[in-house]
Chains A and B, each alone.
Chain A
Amino acid sequence: MLKSDRFLAYALILPVVAAVLAFVVGPTYNVATLSLTQVVMGQERGFGTLNNFRALWADPVFGLVLKNTAIWILGGTLLCVSVGLGVGAYLAIDSKVTGWLRALILLPWVLPDVVTAMAWKWMLHGQVGIIGQTLESTGLTEGTISFMGDPKLVMWMLVVVLVWRKMPLVALILCAAIRAVPDDQVEAARMDGANAVERFRFVTLPNIAFSLTAVTVISMIWITAEFALPWIMTGGGPANASQIMATYIYQQSFEFFNWGVASAMSVINLVMLVSIVALYLYVNRRSWASEASK
Chain B
Amino acid sequence: MKNSISRRSFLGTTTAAGAVSMLPLNHARAASGEISVWKFGGTPQEVEQWALRNDAFTSANPDVGLNYSYFNGQIRRQKILAGFQTNRLADVIIAFGQDIPEFAGFGMLQPLDDIAGDKIAEWKERIVPEVFESGMHDGKLYALPTYVDMASFLAINLDAMEEAGFDRPPETWSELREYAKAMTKPDRPGLAFPATTAPVDINIFEGLAYANGGRIFDEESGKVTLNDPGVVDALQFYVDVIADGSTPASTSLTETFFRDTAQLFGQGRSAMWIGLSWLNTPWGVNDDVRWTGVPMPRPDTPTGSFEPVNAIMDGTAMLMVSARSENPEAAVEYLDFWSQDDQLEIWGGQPEIARIPAGKAAWDNAELKEAWPNWVKSYEEGSLFAGAAPMPRFIGVSAIESALGTAIQQAVLGQKTPQEALDEATTAAQAQIDLIRG
Contact = CB atoms under 8 A, between A and B. Distances in A.
Given A58-B431, A60-B428, A146-B252, A237 B405 contact: yes
B197 A235 contact: yes
Contacts of A239: 254, 406, 409-410, 413, 415
Contacts of A254: 77-78, 81
A59 B424 CA distance: 11
Contact of A237 (B102, B196, B395): B196
B47 interface: no
B252 A126 contact: yes
Given A127-B248, A147-B255, A151-B413, A258 B437 contact: no
Nearest to A143: B249
Contact of A150 (B81, B251, B431): B251
B260 A256 contact: no
A133 to B, nearest CB: 13
Contact of B406 (A40, A240, A258): A240
Interface residues of A, number: 39
A269 to B, nearest CB: 19
B429 to A, nearest CB: 10
Contacts, number: 122
A248 to B, nearest CB: 10
Counting chain A CB atoms within 10 Å of each CB, which of B249, B251, B398, B427 scores highest? B251
B264 interface: yes
Contacts of B269: 127
A238 B77 contact: no
B106 interface: yes
Given A146-B255, A238-B196, A40 B81 contact: no
Nearest to A144: B252
Contact of A251 (B84, B253, B402, B415): B402
B343 interface: no
Contacts of B435: 51, 55, 258, 260-261
A198 B256 CA distance: 49
Interface string A246-282: 0000010111111011000000000000000000000
Contact of B438 (A45, A238, A255): A45
Interface SS, A side: loop
A128 B197 CA distance: 19
Contacts of A260: 435
Nearest to B77: A254
A149 B255 contact: yes
Given A38-B438, A258-B436, A126 B105 contact: no
B263 interface: yes
Contact of A40 (B77, B102, B255, B437): B437
Contact of B398 (A42, A45, A235, A255): A255
A234 interface: yes
B396 interface: yes
B437 A125 contact: no
A89 B308 CA distance: 66
Nearest to A122: B260
Nearest to A232: B74
Contacts of A176: none
A260 B432 CA distance: 12
B198 interface: yes
Interface in A30-81: 38, 40-43, 45, 51, 55, 58-61
Contacts of A238: 195-197, 251, 254-255, 409, 413
Nearest to B253: A149
A256 B399 contact: yes
B256 A235 contact: no
Interface in A112-155: 125-128, 145-151
Interface in A210-242: 234-240
Contact of A257 (B77, B256, B264, B428): B77
Nearest to A258: B436
Contacts of A237: 196-197, 254, 405-406, 409
7 contacts: A60-B424, A126-B249, A126-B252, A146-B251, A234-B197, A239-B254, A254-B77
Given A60-B427, A146-B254, A238-B197, 19 more contacts: A40-B438, A41-B437, A42-B81, A59-B428, A59-B432, A60-B428, A126-B251, A127-B260, A128-B263, A145-B251, A235-B197, A237-B197, A237-B406, A238-B251, A238-B254, A240-B406, A255-B399, A256-B396, A257-B398
Closest 10 CB pairs of A and B: A149-B255, A40-B438, A42-B106, A238-B254, A237-B197, A146-B251, A239-B409, A149-B251, A149-B254, A254-B78
Interface of A: 38, 40-43, 45, 51, 55, 58-61, 125-128, 145-151, 234-240, 251, 253-258, 260-261
